[in-house]
Amino acid sequence: MRASPKWIAVEWAATHVRVWAMGANNKVLAEVNRDYSTDGPDLAGLESALLGLISEWLTPEHATPVICCGMTRLKTPWRAVPCVPVDPHQLVRMPTQDARLDVRVIPGIMQRNPSDMMFGTETLIAGFLALRPGFDGVICLPGAHSRWVHISAREIVSFATYLTGELLALLAKRSSISPSIADNGLDNAAFDQAVATGLSHPASVSARLYSLHASVLNGDLDAVSARSTLSGLLIGQELGAARPYWLGQNVVVEGTVTETDMYVAALRTQGAEVERLASEVLALEGLKVAYEKEDVK
Amino acid sequence: MRASPKWIAVEWAATHVRVWAMGANNKVLAEVNRDYSTDGPDLAGLESALLGLISEWLTPEHATPVICCGMTRLKTPWRAVPCVPVDPHQLVRMPTQDARLDVRVIPGIMQRNPSDMMFGTETLIAGFLALRPGFDGVICLPGAHSRWVHISAREIVSFATYLTGELLALLAKRSSISPSIADNGLDNAAFDQAVATGLSHPASVSARLYSLHASVLNGDLDAVSARSTLSGLLIGQELGAARPYWLGQNVVVEGTVTETDMYVAALRTQGAEVERLASEVLALEGLKVAYEKEDVK
């Protein structure tokens, strides 16, 4: 791809980075995805990491605008709720050595009480609102960190972050009970029952973890059912804590990961009316919101 | 130490192994401690691992009795509750190549409902009962796996295992919130408040994990207070689930690790009458129980 893009969009998420070369009328000229195991590059190495992805898209004739979201390690001034998810007039300029770059970062959003933060999710929300300008309700985004975001009048009113996916991964892959937990597979009955337990008896979750391991060792449970039970307990516990976000609310569960289906199933079992949205374009739509109104030349 | 011992005691715990050369009248002739990072040796390598620790204590003239507890990977027939913690007539012979060895293993104990298991803790309990033959009540043993064991009439009636210490270590050292959690240090006020929260609002624990990280990032909390809050939340959640084990019970909290003090403090705050026992000898006392009545020649 030798034609110079008008601007470049960058989503630097916890486990992957995606870059898009954007042409006239926001046409995507080229795209690169790369997986990472760490949560983003060091700030010191950010410019060279960026150049490794996009240098062939740059021209020596002028600085190409680069709009980034995510970048959890970059200390930008945070914006505070309530606020619109992305404000194109509050992007943060990142100093660079390379004159071909003009990098702006979408700042993360913080909440004071209860303390919470997001770096990147605000851009997905902006993308969602670009597609659904009139939306009022709650978006749930499952994943390693699952987030519940209450939106009203185009602003993020409040949000809550849960480590559910990360806890599942730690217990399934790096703990003393890992040998009893399958890497994948789903036993629906075990999952449903565990969600109900996690919701109604949240304290019992900590008591059930080692018990799952013992059940597998003594032959009462298979490793797929153990994984399904573990997922269900953790998701049930999260749903219990996040109840104000879904009870009687207009809820959209957004995501493409396996967990998304599990959240939808669990919420429907609880009688919640839930819409399922699997979109690959939210990050890019959010980055467009930041660029289109931005006065970057 | 060239004098051949009468027998050899072995405690193979999750993170360390201790061996004792035992003389007449159960006098300790020599002792070796070694730390491990894994949970015991492979069964295939067990004999050579043992020989690496005790070979210089062995004599070619006869097989020396070796009594082991722990050994989580050895598939011995488990014993089921209710039962005495160690039955010298139910040791399991481990086949060995080396004729100088006569190895017997104390089998673990299992519980069917709720499913649970212990490998090694039963020997500590036997040691405790050797020191306190008339004890009736509950022993709590904090650690990576904390166990609550109900004892009546010299038998283990029921028990419950919690991953609290392991979860704390995973979150403090291997998770996305680790940068905000100090390696040690204790803020008593933060700990006490978090125990109360974990006990009364167990579902909120999952919501508080990322929030702690955000509080540290935005400067509202220091990393020692974050660690203390995390410990308190997890211990409070465990105490809530283990309430039948301590409410109105005669409770001894046993251990030498830092967490022991935290459990004692948390239980006393809840009005429980708790005795604190820091003993280094329980494992060896339990192993003596297995040997003294055993008909090993």
Give the model confidence (pLDDT) of A185-224 as tens digits. Answer: 999 999 999 999 999 999 889 889 999 999 999 899 999 9
Q: Characterize the bridge pairing of strands A155-162 and A146-152.
A: antiparallel
Order of strands across the sheet that contains B101-105: B28-35, B16-22, B7-12, B64-70, B101-105, B92-94
d(C-alpha A192, C-alpha A196), whole Å: 6
Spatial separation of the C-alpha atoms in residues B102 and B8, rounded to whole Å: 10
Which of B78, B162, B170 is opposite residue A170, by nearest beta carbon? B170
Q: How far is B74 from chain A (nearest CA, A)?
A: 12
At residue B296, the pLDDT reads 43
Report CB contact under 8 Å: A145, B241: no
Residue of A nearest to B119 (CA): A214
Q: Which residues of chain A have pLDDT under 70?
A: 1-3, 37-44, 72-75, 293-297
| The pLDDT value given to residue B219 | 92
Contact: B166, A176; criterion CB under 8 Å: yes
CB contact under 8 A, A203 and B240: yes
CA-based angle A124:A129:A130, to the nearest 5? 95
Q: Which of residues 78-137 of A touch B (CB under 8 A)?
A: 78, 110-112, 114-117
Contact between A189 and A180 under an 8 Å Cβ cutoff? The reply is: no
Instruction: Report whether A36 contacts A12 (CB < 8 A).
Output: no
A181: helix, strand or coil: coil
Spell out the SS3 assignment of B37-100: CCCCCCCCCHHHHHHHHHHHHCCCCCCEEEEEEECCCCCCCCEECCECCCCHHHCEEECCCCCC
Q: Whole-prediction pTM value? A: 0.92
**Running DSSP on this structure, what letter comes out for residue A25?**
G
Query: Which residues numbered 216-275 in A keep a CB inside 8 Å of some CB on B?
Result: 217-218, 220-221, 234, 237-238, 240-242
For residue A153 the two structure tokens come to 């009048």
Nearest CB neighbour to A210, from listed B163, B206, B220? B163
Q: Which residues in chain B have their CB less than 8 angstroms from residue A245's CB? A: none
A88 to chain B, closest Cα gap in Å: 23
Which phi and psi (to 5°) does residue A253 adopt?
A: -100, 120
Tell me the count of A-B CB pairs closer than 8 A.
131
Q: Which residue reads 């991964």 in tokens?
A: A169
Put simply, the answer to whether B207 touches A160 (Cβ < 8 Å) is yes
Binary contact (B110, A175; C-beta < 8 A)? no
- How high is the pLDDT of residue B256? 79
What tokens appear for B16 in the block?
Answer: 């360390």
Q: Are residues B115 and A214, on separate chains, in Cβ contact within 8 Å?
A: yes
Element (H, E) at A159: strand A155-162
> What is the β-pairing status of strands B101-105 and B137-141?
unpaired
Q: Which of B177, B207, B220 is nearest residue A241 as measured by Cβ atoms? A: B207
On whether the CB atoms of residues A6 and A20 are closer than 8 A, the answer is: no
Please report the pLDDT score of residue A2 as a whole number. 60
Place of tokens 């050369």: B21
Q: Which residues contact A24 (CB under 8 A, 6 or more apart)?
A: A6
pLDDT of residue B38: 54
Flag whether residue A46 sits within 8 Å of chain B, measured between CB atoms: no
Return the residue in B39, B171, B206 with the most chain A beta carbons within 10 A, the one to mutate for interface testing.
B206
Q: Are A280 and A20 in contact (CB under 8 A)?
A: no
Strand pairing partners for A150? Answer: A138, A158
- ipTM attached to this prediction: 0.91
For A111, nearest residue in chain B (alpha carbons): B214
* Closest residue, chain B, to A221 (C-alpha): B115
Phi, psi of A10 (to 5 degrees): -130, 125
Subunit contact A110:B237, Cβ cutoff 8 A = no
Kindly report the backbone phi and psi dihedral angles of residue B230, in degrees, each rounded to the nearest multiple of 5, phi listed first. Answer: -60, -50
Nearest to B22 by CA among B291, B295, B280, B293: B291
Residue of A42, A181, A206, A237 to mutate when probing chain B, most B C-beta within 10 A: A206
Q: Which residues of A touch B117 (CB under 8 A)?
A: 210, 213-214, 217-218
CA dist B262 to A149, A203, B285, Å?
36, 19, 26
Which residues of chain B are under the pLDDT cut of 70? 1-3, 37-44, 72-75, 293-297
User: What tokens appear for B137 in the block?
Assistant: 């009540």
Three-class secondary structure assignment of A184-249:
CCCCHHHHHHHHHHHHHCCCHHHHHHHHHHHHHHCCCCCHHHHHHHHHHHHHHHHHHHCHHHHCCC
Closest by CA to A214, choosing from A177, A185, A173, is: A177
Beta bridge mates, A127: none
Cα B26 to Cα A12, A217, B34, B111, B278, distances in angstroms: 64, 35, 22, 32, 22
Whether chain B has a CB inside 8 Å of the CB on A211: the answer is yes
Q: Return the pLDDT at A49.
A: 86
C-beta atoms of B162 and A207 within 8 A: yes
How far is the alpha carbon of B58 from chain A, nearest alpha carbon, in Å? 34
pLDDT of residue B13: 84
- What confidence score (pLDDT) does residue A296 get? 43
H helix intervals, chain A: 46-54, 121-131, 164-174, 188-200, 204-217, 223-241, 243-246, 258-269, 282-292
Tell me if B240 and A212 make a contact (CB, 8 A cut-off). Answer: no
